[in-house]
Amino acid sequence: ADVNARAKHGVSPFQLAVWQNHKSICVWLVEEHNVDPSQVNDFDCGAVHWLGICPTGRANCVITDNDANEDKMTSSEEEKTIRGCADGESLLPLARWLANQPNVDFKKRQRQGHSALHKAAWGGHIALLRYLRDEHGLIDNVQDFAGNYAADLADMANTEQHSKAARFLREECSAARANSCKILGVSVSASHSEIRRAYLEKARRLHPDRLGNSSGIITCNDHENGMPLDSSLSHAMTDNVDFDAIQKAYKHLTIENGVGTQSNPAHSLNLMLELQVSLDRNGDTEQCKTTTAEDMDEESLFKARLIAVLLEYGDKGLELCNIRKKWSQVWPDTPFPDIERDRHNGNDYVRKKKGLLVDYIQRNAGDVVNIFKPEDGRGRIIIVPKRCTRSHVSEASSEK
């Protein structure tokens, strides 16, 4: 057997072993057969990406560092373990082993723009998310090429565990939290007591009454009692830090739980409606008129939601057969229209569901999407936005 054999899309035995959290097999392949642990598949997904999408059962079973008994667990034992711990703790031994392998890059993004954080979010593995933050400095500040933050992908999975993962990413792993922690001079993983202690120290040093100036601003050139300020003020003091900034950072971390604003702008229905109106009128995103869902009819709402779904795949479009599935991920609270009831002019269509769906999209969104059908009537039907692009969404969002 070839330990480096490749399956469809360049998937290898090593990648599958990582995906199933078989650390002992990974070690055996690398140490006994010189398999490259930094290898990637055709989508540039490496071991750190495969680890993030490990199935829940494999991510939460009791596994020792040498995996000696990993395959002896019964299904009932596994179910008990999953109920007891569903955060993906069992992935950490393999994650730490990978971190010690040459050229394994935990910050590498694959072809869709997904980082290890995106994949772990899709898997709902909070323990792995925390590890990536604490050990590799990853925070949820990078969008994939569809505009999704890691928190967006957790939202799309739409389970209780994934909701917890999304909350962790927004409250514990956001760029906003990282910035507030930087101002106070603490790590992103700082506890409430550490945050309070740092705040009190800086508040005493920076209070306007103590500094004797009206601005409450202290710089690296300021002195206390004739002596330079010590290094405990941290890298937050590199430039100017004022008392108000300290207070705002503390409030953000304690009262607002450090919450960030990670959200794909295309998942904002009001923004997509405004953008659609603007493109219809001007052909560009300038002067977007404020529009809300309450102002629009059902057809306009369907168009806006459909475009948001299609933009997940950009210029290449989305196969018709995947429309409903992706819709349920992007718009989990809004079911896809019941096209069986939507009979044009009351006629009883005697067609396959695929034909009904094509007709429905053509009638209700034909002015905003292109439908590409195979010439021979067989094969994939692709739906692509006509005018709206990811760039349009980014521009419209930046103007808000």
Q: CATH number, domain at 185?
A: 1.10.287.110
Is the Cβ–Cβ distance between 195 and 184 less than 8 Å?
Answer: yes
Residue 77, pLDDT > 70, answer no
Same domain, 231 and 277: no
Domain that residue 231 falls in: 178-254
Task: Tell me the one-letter amino acid at 157.
Answer: A
Q: What whole-number distance in Å separates Cα of residue 150 and Cα of residue 165?
A: 9
Percentage of the chain lying above the pLDDT 70 cut: 78
Residue 325, pLDDT > 60, answer yes
Residue 283, pLDDT > 70, answer no
Give mean pLDDT, residues 234-243: 52
pLDDT single digits (tens) 372-382: 998 877 789 99
Same domain, 228 and 340: no
CATH number for the domain including 23? Answer: 1.25.40.20
Q: What whole-number distance in Å separates Cα of residue 385 and Cα of residue 101?
A: 43
Note whether residue 24 is domain-resident: yes
pLDDT level of residue 298 (50, 70, 90 thresholds): very high
Same domain, 233 and 310: no
* β-pairing verdict for 223-224 and 217-218: unpaired
374: three-class secondary structure by DSSP: coil
Q: How many C-beta neighbours within 10 Å does residue 376 have?
A: 6
pTM for the structure as a whole: 0.82
Same domain, 273 and 326: yes
Same domain, 151 and 189: no
Task: Tell me the one-letter amino acid at 391.
Answer: S
Residue 185, pLDDT > 80, answer yes
Mean residue pLDDT of the chain comes to: 85
pLDDT single digits (tens) 336-351: 998 876 554 444 443 4
Give mean pLDDT, residues 80-88: 59
Same domain, 44 and 131: yes
- Considering only CA atoms, give the Rg of the chain: 26
- Residue 217 is predicted with a pLDDT of 43
132-136, 187-191, 208-212, 277-281: segment of lowest average pLDDT: 208-212
Q: What whole-number distance in Å separates Cα of residue 70 and Cα of residue 81?
A: 13
pLDDT level of residue 310 (50, 70, 90 thresholds): very high
Q: Residue 239 corresponds to which tokens in the numbers above? A: 């430039």
Domain stops at, among 254, 280, 310: 254
Same domain, 160 and 20: yes
CATH number for the domain including 342? Answer: 3.30.420.610
Note whether residue 385 is domain-resident: yes
Q: Residue 116 corresponds to which tokens in the numbers above? A: 């290890």
Domain stops at, among 190, 222, 254: 254
76-85, 197-206, 318-327, 391-400: segment of lowest average pLDDT: 76-85
Is the Cβ–Cβ distance between 52 and 122 less than 8 Å?
Answer: yes
User: Which residue has better confidence, 371 or 79?
Assistant: 371
Note whether residue 1 is domain-resident: no
136-160 burial, b if ≥16 CB within 10 A, otherwise e? bebbbbbbbebbbbbbbbbbbbeee
Note whether residue 67 is domain-resident: yes
Note whether residue 220 is domain-resident: yes
Report how many domains make up the chain. 3
pLDDT level of residue 122 (50, 70, 90 thresholds): very high
Same domain, 154 and 189: no
- Residue 292 is predicted with a pLDDT of 60
pLDDT single digits (tens) 21-34: 999 999 999 999 99
Q: Residue 323 corresponds to which tokens in the numbers above? A: 């429309």
Note whether residue 316 is domain-resident: yes
Note whether residue 260 is domain-resident: no
Same domain, 190 and 63: no
Same domain, 195 and 58: no
Maximum CA pair distance of the chain? 90
Note whether residue 55 is domain-resident: yes
Domain stops at, among 124, 152, 169: 169
Same domain, 238 and 334: no
Q: How far is CA 3 from CA 12, 27, 28, 37, in A?
A: 8, 13, 11, 12
**Secondary structure percentages of the chain, helix, strand, coil, to 5:** 55, 5, 40
Same domain, 285 and 215: no
- Residue 347 is predicted with a pLDDT of 46
Is the Cβ–Cβ distance between 86 and 57 less than 8 Å?
Answer: no
